[in-house]
Chains A and B, each alone.
Chain A
Amino acid sequence: MADSFQFELVSPEKLLMSEAVTAVSIPGSEGFFTVMAKHAPVMTTVKPGIVLVSKEGGSEERIFVRGGFADVNENGLTLLAEHAEPADKVDLQALDQSIKDAEEDVADAEGPEAKAKAQHQLDQLREAREGLAG
Chain B
Amino acid sequence: MASLKDLRNRIASVKSTQKITKAMQMVAAAKLRRAEEAAAAARPYADRMASVLGNIAGAVEGDGPPLMVGTGKDDVHLLVVFTAERGLCGGFNASIVKLARQHQRRLEGEGKTVKFLAVGKKAWDIMRRDLSGKIVERVDFRDVKQIGFDEADMLGEKVMELFAKGEFDVCTIFYSAFQNVITQVPTAQQIIPADLSGAGEEKSETGGVAVYEYEPEPGAILDALIPRNIKVQILHAMLENAASEQGARMSAMDNATRNAGDMIDKLSVSYNRQRQAQITTELVEIISGAEAL
Whether A and B are associated in the same complex: the answer reads yes
Chain B contacts with A in 224-238, Cβ cutoff 8 A: 224-225, 228, 231-232, 235
User: Which of the 9-residue segments A72-80, A85-93, A102-110, A124-132 touches chain B?
Assistant: A72-80
Cα of A69 to Cα of B148 in the assembled complex, Å = 19
Q: Is the interface of A mostly helix, strand, loop or mixed?
A: strand
Min distance, Cβ B115 to any Cβ of chain A, angstroms: 27
A112 at the B interface (CB under 8 A):
no
Chain A residue nearest to B48 in the complex (CB) = A78
Q: Give per-residue flags for A40-71: 1 if the beta carbon is below 8 A from chain B beta carbons, else 0.
A: 11111100000000000000000000000101
> Is B52 a contact of A43 with CB atoms below 8 Å?
yes
> Is B221 a contact of A12 with CB atoms below 8 Å?
no
Which chain A residues lie closer than 8 Å to B211 at the CB level? 41
A28 at the B interface (CB under 8 A):
yes
> Is A14 a contact of B44 with CB atoms below 8 Å?
yes
Sorting the interface of chain B by its residue count into under 10, 10 to 19, 20 to 34 or 35 or more gives 20 to 34
Among B45, B210, B213, B214, which residue has its beta carbon within 8 angstroms of that of A12? Answer: B45
Cα of A44 to Cα of B221 in the assembled complex, Å = 7
B114 at the A interface (CB under 8 A):
no
> Is B216 a contact of A14 with CB atoms below 8 Å?
no
> Is A14 a contact of B52 with CB atoms below 8 Å?
no
Chain B residue nearest to A33 in the complex (CB) = B215
Cα of A13 to Cα of B37 in the assembled complex, Å = 10
> Is B45 a contact of A42 with CB atoms below 8 Å?
no
Chain A residue nearest to B207 in the complex (CB) = A73
Which chain B residues lie closer than 8 Å to A30 at the CB level? 215-216
> Is B48 a contact of A8 with CB atoms below 8 Å?
yes
> Is A44 a contact of B42 with CB atoms below 8 Å?
no
Q: Give per-residue flags for A20-50: 1 if the beta carbon is below 8 A from chain B beta carbons, else 0.
A: 0000000011100000000011111100000
> Is A13 a contact of B224 with CB atoms below 8 Å?
no
> Is B221 a contact of A45 with CB atoms below 8 Å?
yes
Q: Give per-residue flags for B8-52: 1 if the beta carbon is below 8 A from chain A beta carbons, else 0.
A: 000000000000000000000000000000100110110011001
Which chain A residues lie closer than 8 Å to B118 at the CB level? none
A10 at the B interface (CB under 8 A):
yes
> Is A13 a contact of B38 with CB atoms below 8 Å?
yes
With A12-B232, A80-B52 already in contact, the answer to whether A43 and B44 are too (CB < 8 A) is no
With A43-B52, A74-B209 already in contact, the answer to whether A29 and B216 are too (CB < 8 A) is yes
A4 at the B interface (CB under 8 A):
no
Chain B contacts with A in 53-74, Cβ cutoff 8 A: 55-56
A11 at the B interface (CB under 8 A):
yes
Q: Give per-residue flags for B139-163: 1 if the beta carbon is below 8 A from chain A beta carbons, else 0.
A: 0000000001100100000000000
Q: Give per-residue flags for B193-234: 1 if the beta carbon is below 8 A from chain A beta carbons, else 0.
A: 000000000000010011111111010110011001001100
Min distance, Cβ A75 to any Cβ of chain B, angstroms: 8
> Is B148 a contact of A13 with CB atoms below 8 Å?
yes
> Is B149 a contact of A12 with CB atoms below 8 Å?
yes
> Is B213 a contact of A80 with CB atoms below 8 Å?
no
Which chain B residues lie closer than 8 Å to A45 at the CB level? 215-216, 220-221, 224
> Is A13 a contact of B225 with CB atoms below 8 Å?
no
Chain A residue nearest to B152 in the complex (CB) = A12
A1 at the B interface (CB under 8 A):
no
- Nearest first, the 4 A-B pairs at minimum CB distance are A14-B41, A44-B215, A12-B149, A15-B44
Please, could you name 27 A-B residue pairs with CB atoms under 8 Å apart, sorted by A? Answer: A8-B48, A12-B45, A12-B232, A13-B38, A13-B42, A13-B149, A14-B41, A14-B42, A14-B45, A42-B213, A44-B214, A44-B216, A69-B225, A69-B228, A71-B48, A71-B52, A71-B55, A73-B55, A74-B210, A78-B48, A80-B45, A80-B48, A80-B49, A80-B52, A80-B228, A82-B228, A83-B149
- Taking Cβ atoms with an 8 Å cutoff, the residues of A that contact B are 8, 10-15, 28-30, 40-45, 69, 71, 73-74, 78, 80, 82-83
* Given A43-B212, A80-B52, 18 new contacts (CB under 8 A): A8-B44, A12-B42, A12-B149, A12-B231, A12-B232, A13-B38, A13-B42, A29-B216, A30-B215, A41-B211, A42-B212, A43-B213, A43-B214, A44-B214, A45-B221, A71-B55, A73-B210, A80-B48
